[in-house]
A = this chain, B = another copy of it.
Amino acid sequence: MAALRTPDFDAYPTQHIVARAEPDTHGVRVVWDDGAESRYHALWLRENSPDPDTTHPTTRETTLRIVDVPENLCVVDAAVAEGGDLIVHWSDGSAPGHFDRGWLRCHTHGLPDSNRYELPEVSPWDASIRANLPRFDGSSFPQDRTAFSGWLEAVHGYGFGILHSLPAAADTIDAVAEAIGPVRESNFGRLFEVRSKAEADSNAYTSLALPAHTDLATREYQPGLQMLFCIANGADGGESLLTDGFAVAGHLQANDPEVYEVLTRTNVEFKNIAQDTDYRWETPMIVAGDDGNPVEIRWTDWLRAPLRAAPETVDTFYSALRTADALMNDPAFQIELKLEPGELLCFDNRRVLHGRRAFEMRTGERWLRGCYIEREELHSRLRMLDRERRGAEMDA
């Protein structure tokens, strides 16, 4: 079996071996040495057979088309190989399947998958998190894997995390992003410079205060993650603000369900019209999932298009907006931090709102450099760091 598997990709260590195996109604019934029972469907086994004609040895993707296999394929015999793997003989005479016991145990419906990395739990927070900010030492990034994975876990769990002590150089953010995955470019560029400029094409590029908001609310899918890296922050003011939109939405859901209802049901258009672009997207400002809980926040006051509704509906909407927006900017839900040069803040832009206090241009330089990256890159990197950790444990 070893030749068919790439150990660094899928090591399935298990303490268990197959004790007995026999054909049953849908495929195979297996009894393990600890008495646990598993049942596997014949076509399922056939599709996931590790042989090179089923799973491409280089791409590791499935090349067999299960829809090309006879629908009535069944298992005519099942046996236990030396070492406790499973051997399956098919009714269509194709070569017997040899299933690694570790892989099989991990892919059993109803049994825990000890090989699977679960992303950290999503934890809503309020202002009390300021006593225990998710800050991590970036001075040995990315070699310091504990800081790297701790930071990414915070970004997933709390929706934000800070790396400090990075080099306060213009290209640092690029290196940090690339250590995770590809950047999501926008019409503001691959990287964007948050400093006041004369011909500002966004309020972000003025010295104005910005209330709590999400970025690129005008897009079909708001960028999943935003990074803001501080190169200089010497001007008076310019503190960064963060609010957990899920915490506020959850608070409304529990305490002010009518407001929650209005904001999850009213379609609001966001628009951003410039010289060469015209982005618009219409959606509720709080998107509720099938279970009614908030799954996405879209909140950019200055990009809301005029609501198209009767005055009575407008009245209800403005009232709900007023209540919710006050909470999004309420010190009880919000933290304030003044980024130092060399600090990088990463946050989930579909969940955590960010803002800033106004700053006074003449008192010093303020220069943040930002970029977007998708959440799947965070997930993939967390899984890779976990794979690396397990590999090191197996080597030890």
Residue ranges of A at the interface with B (Cβ–Cβ < 8 Å): 8-10, 25-27, 39-41, 43-44, 47-48, 56, 58-63, 65-67, 71, 107, 109-110, 181-187, 190, 199-203, 205-206, 208, 211, 218-221, 224, 272-281, 301-304, 306-312, 314-315, 318-319, 321-322, 325-326, 374-376, 379-380, 383-384, 387
Residue in B8, B67, B202 whose beta carbon sits within 8 Å of that of A325 in the complex: B67
B41 and A203 within 8 A (CB): no
Given A67-B325, A67-B326, A186-B182, do A200 and B58 touch, yes or no (CB 8 Å)?
Answer: yes
What chain B residues lie within 8 Å of A275 (beta carbons)? 8-9
A10 to B309, CA, bound (A): 21
What chain B residues lie within 8 Å of A219 (beta carbons)? 374, 376
B277 and A384 within 8 A (CB): yes
B376 and A220 within 8 A (CB): yes
Closest to A313 in B: B109
A184 and B187 within 8 A (CB): no
A58 and B199 within 8 A (CB): yes
What chain B residues lie within 8 Å of A301 (beta carbons)? 62, 65-67
A107 and B185 within 8 A (CB): no
B311 and A27 within 8 A (CB): yes
Distance to closest chain B CB from A72 (angstroms):
11
Given A184-B184, A187-B182, do A278 and B387 touch, yes or no (CB 8 Å)?
Answer: yes
A365 to B218, CA, bound (A): 42
Given A58-B199, A318-B43, A318-B44, do A185 and B187 touch, yes or no (CB 8 Å)?
Answer: no
B306 and A44 within 8 A (CB): yes
A201 and B311 within 8 A (CB): no
B107 and A278 within 8 A (CB): no
Distance to closest chain B CB from A78 (angstroms):
14
Closest to A24 in B: B311
A311 and B224 within 8 A (CB): no
What chain B residues lie within 8 Å of A10 (beta carbons)? 273
Q: How many identical chains are in the complex?
A: 2
Given A219-B376, A314-B44, do A202 and B59 touch, yes or no (CB 8 Å)?
Answer: yes
Residue in B218, B224, B384 whose beta carbon sits within 8 Å of that of A220 in the complex: B224
Residue in B56, B202, B306 whose beta carbon sits within 8 Å of that of A61 in the complex: B202
What chain B residues lie within 8 Å of A200 (beta carbons)? 56, 58-59
Given A10-B273, A181-B187, do A59 and B203 touch, yes or no (CB 8 Å)?
Answer: yes
Distance to closest chain B CB from A149 (angstroms):
14
What chain B residues lie within 8 Å of A110 (beta carbons)? 310
Interchain residue pairs A-B with the least CB separation, the first 4: A26-B311, A278-B383, A41-B314, A61-B302
A307 and B220 within 8 A (CB): no
What chain B residues lie within 8 Å of A60 (beta carbons)? 273-274
Closest to A300 in B: B61
B184 and A303 within 8 A (CB): no
B181 and A184 within 8 A (CB): no
Closest to A308 in B: B109
A201 to B6, CA, bound (A): 14
What chain B residues lie within 8 Å of A384 (beta carbons)? 276-278
A62 and B278 within 8 A (CB): no
What chain B residues lie within 8 Å of A273 (beta carbons)? 9-10, 60
Closest to A375 in B: B220
Closest to A201 in B: B59
The interface centre, meaning the residue of A41, A107, A281, A322 with most chain B CB atoms within 10 A of its CB, is A41
What chain B residues lie within 8 Å of A383 (beta carbons)? 278, 280
A183 and B185 within 8 A (CB): yes
A245 to B21, CA, bound (A): 41
Residue in B63, B187, B221, B376 whose beta carbon sits within 8 Å of that of A203 in the complex: B63
